[in-house]
Chains A and B, each alone.
Chain A
Amino acid sequence: MSSRIVRRGLIWAAAMSAAIGAASAHEIVGNRMFPATLTIDDPGVADELALPTVSVTKTGDDPSVRQTDVSFEYAKRITEDFGVSFGTAWTHLGAPGGPTGTGASGFQNIEGALKYRLYKNPAHEFVLSAGLEIEFGASGAAGVGAEPVTSYEPAIFFGKGFGDLPASINWARPFAVTGAVGYSIPASSQTVSFDPDSGDIDTELNPKVLSWGGSLQYSMPYLKSSVVDLGLPDFVNRLIPIVEFSMETPVENTLTSDTVTTGTISPGILYIGDTYQVGVEALIPVNRESGSGVGVIGQLHFFLDDLLPNTLGRPIFGHGVSMKGG
């Protein structure tokens, strides 16, 4: 296996890792609470801490490498509608991964994001946000695939609950969908490196990548509080069965890289506490390039606006009380 192939595999592993670690804020819109999703960012702007998010996967390399990621993300509202976040992930690659083929460990690049809530419609349980995600190149360990180049990803996020469906199909009203579409643009179009195996100078083009994902969720809390109280146990009334999908498609500057779409489909379940949520999902690769077996991801996620409402959990500016709803 040449070092070039190893590197390319690691880049895909890093890309997958970055996508998996992109969970963020929950959001309340009218009757609807959109939970924090695990493999894609959701439309929420909130004060939250995802710690930890843990995933175990087998990479799409040949031979495959077992990859464990432990990540965190902290999100902070500056105003009611505008927030920032940052996070990173620690990665362990089992053998034969890593530059020496014996495995490797280290941090991925630091990631930061800005997000602004553009529109919120409580009656129709709809929210739309826009953001800019920045991955700071070379801030992580190259041995675990951290990219040397900074990338910028403008993105759009939305959430829509179906509570406004007619009463004749009450059973469908707890359904909701969320979506995220981003376009990752590297700060440099190419990376030049020296290959110690061959003595050659490698030039690799850094592709622009379309990220797209979504979720379909069925809210038992919504069923109980807004549709029908079936008298189910409290534990069941706090569950949200969910299926997420998270994809990446290189679309430009792909001469030296793969162009195949990679990603995962992730069925799982979320438990919504008063001040936290816990989620576990399977990570099913959509093709061989995305992974060689079913992985798993779990997350413990704290709602800081509920835990620390008078300090860290409130916007820095513009926190006021009104009854206009929301």
Chain B
Amino acid sequence: MRTVLAILVVSALTVAAPKGAAAHARLDHATPKVGSTVTAAPKQVVLTFTEKLEPAFSSIEVRDAKGADVQTGKARGGSDRTQLRVQLKSLPPGTYTVIWKALSVDTHRTQGTFTFTVGR
């Protein structure tokens, strides 16, 4: 056990991942939060990723329980390019599905879905 850990630690320190390397853009956090229930209907969905994005090739769709789109317009990037946001119609109570696709600046594609609920 000690041998294994010692070699792993030394290796990690020797060849630590260099800062600045790009990677797949993972969803770091979202507003509304993934899986959350909010009391007030949100006006927009904001997604923050672990990497900078190409907003023109990234998208967010938000759908209600019947599958109808409830976003208005296209997703836009934020000032630091790790954020993607889309404005929403006035949302009645219900569960909504966020479907996102992201292209990081190094051309890695990722995608994901999650839900949030607007309570009564």
Q: Do A and B bind each other?
A: yes
Spell out A's residues near B (CB within 8 Å).
28, 30-31, 51-52, 54-56, 68, 70, 122, 167, 170, 221, 224-229, 231, 273-276, 278, 280, 296-300, 302-303, 305-310, 321-323, 325-326
Whether A227 contacts B114 by the Cβ 8 Å rule is: yes
Query: Complex: how many Å from CA A205 to CA B65?
Result: 63
Check A51/B111 contact, CB under 8 A, given A228-B35, A306-B21, A325-B101: no
- Besides A298-B7, A307-B23, A321-B103, 7 other A-B contacts (C-beta < 8 A): A30-B112, A56-B4, A70-B7, A229-B30, A231-B33, A300-B8, A300-B12
Whether B1 contacts A227 by the Cβ 8 Å rule is: no
Question: What residues of B have a CB within 8 angstroms of the CB of A273 in the complex?
Answer: 17
Shortest Cβ gap from A302 to chain B (Å): 7
Check A229/B4 contact, CB under 8 A, given A28-B110, A275-B21, A303-B23: no
Task: Count B-side interface residues using an 8 Å CB cutoff.
Answer: 39
Whether B24 contacts A306 by the Cβ 8 Å rule is: yes
Whether B101 contacts A229 by the Cβ 8 Å rule is: no
Whether B3 contacts A52 by the Cβ 8 Å rule is: no
Query: Complex: how many Å from CA A170 to CA B15?
Result: 38
Whether B111 contacts A305 by the Cβ 8 Å rule is: no
Question: What residues of A have a CB within 8 angstroms of the CB of B115 in the complex?
Answer: 167
Query: Closest A-chain residue to B54, C-beta based?
Result: A321
Shortest Cβ gap from A96 to chain B (Å): 20
In chain B, positions 20-62 with a C-beta closer than 8 Å to chain A are 21-24, 26-27, 29-30, 33-36, 50-51, 57, 59
Whether B26 contacts A297 by the Cβ 8 Å rule is: no
Shortest Cβ gap from A141 to chain B (Å): 20
Whether B4 contacts A326 by the Cβ 8 Å rule is: no
Query: Complex: how many Å from CA A226 to CA B33?
Result: 10
Question: What residues of A have a CB within 8 angstroms of the CB of B23 in the complex?
Answer: 274-275, 303, 306-307
Query: Closest A-chain residue to B111, C-beta based?
Result: A325
Question: What residues of A have a CB within 8 angstroms of the CB of B3 in the complex?
Answer: 54, 56, 68
Question: What residues of A have a CB within 8 angstroms of the CB of B36 in the complex?
Answer: 228-229
Q: Pick the contact of A122 from B17, B22, B103, B111 — CB < 8 Å?
A: B111
Query: Complex: how many Å from CA A1 to CA B29?
Result: 62
Interface presence of B90 (CB below 8 A): no
Shortest Cβ gap from A185 to chain B (Å): 32
Interface presence of B18 (CB below 8 A): yes
Q: Which of B4, B11, B29, B107 has the most CB of A within 10 A?
A: B4
